[in-house]
Amino acid sequence: MLVYPGAVTLPDDIDPATVFEDIFRANGWGTCWRNGIFGHVHYHSRIHEVLGIASGSAEVRFGGDRGEVLNLEAGDVAILPAGTGHQRLSSSADLLVVGAYPPFGTYDLCTTAGQIKTAQRTIPKVGRPETDPVYGAGGPLLEAWQER
């Protein structure tokens, strides 16, 4: 998992969610959505995900029930490899998250213990993205997530 604190400058005169959507799409991570982060542990076993904090702040646990708790705020980006559990523990009332996915993979939502066996088979098959959702073809994600 990668976290880019303050990666995106959010001008006062432009919709912050649009700024994230434009950056993610320009770098090949489309299928954007706007919402928050679920308050229960969940993960995606067939696709990677990027979360951009467009407004507000949130305390989010990454890595499942015993994972690390991070405070994210407007301008921050978190890139989650397939299988990374995440859960919003608390947030400001104005939290708005823009999420996106790379052009390959299939969205799924895993929330139960019964899904673990299937997830253990599918997660390793999710390939490395071709671009970093924030920095493009030369971004740190490509070095950090080496092909196996």
Cβ neighbours of residue 128 closer than 8 Å, sequence gap 6 or more: 142, 145, 146, 147
**Residue corresponding to tokens 């859960």:** 87
pTM of this prediction? 0.95
Q: Under CATH, to which class is 2-141 assigned? A: mainly beta
Q: Where in the chain are the domains? A: 2-141
Q: What secondary structure, in 3-state letters, does the chain show?
A: CEEECCCCCCCCCCCHHHHHHHHHHHCCCCCCEEECCCCCCEECCCCCEEEEEEECEEEEEECCCCCEEEEEECCCEEEECCCCCEEEEEECCCCEEEEECCCCCCCCCECCHHHHHHHHHHHHHCCCCCCECCCECCCHHHHHCCCC
Supply the pLDDT for residue 113: 85
Report pLDDT for 79.
98
Per-residue pLDDT of the chain (148 residues; tens, 9 = 90+): 999 999 999 999 999 999 999 999 999 998 899 999 999 999 999 999 999 999 999 999 999 889 999 999 999 999 999 999 999 999 999 999 999 999 999 999 999 889 999 999 999 999 999 999 999 999 999 999 986 4
How many angstroms separate the CA atoms of 63 and 31, rounded?
24
From residue 16, give the alpha-carbon distance in Å to each of 30, 54, 55, 69, 101: 16, 5, 7, 24, 18
pLDDT attached to residue 24: 98
Both tokens assigned to 19: 């700024």
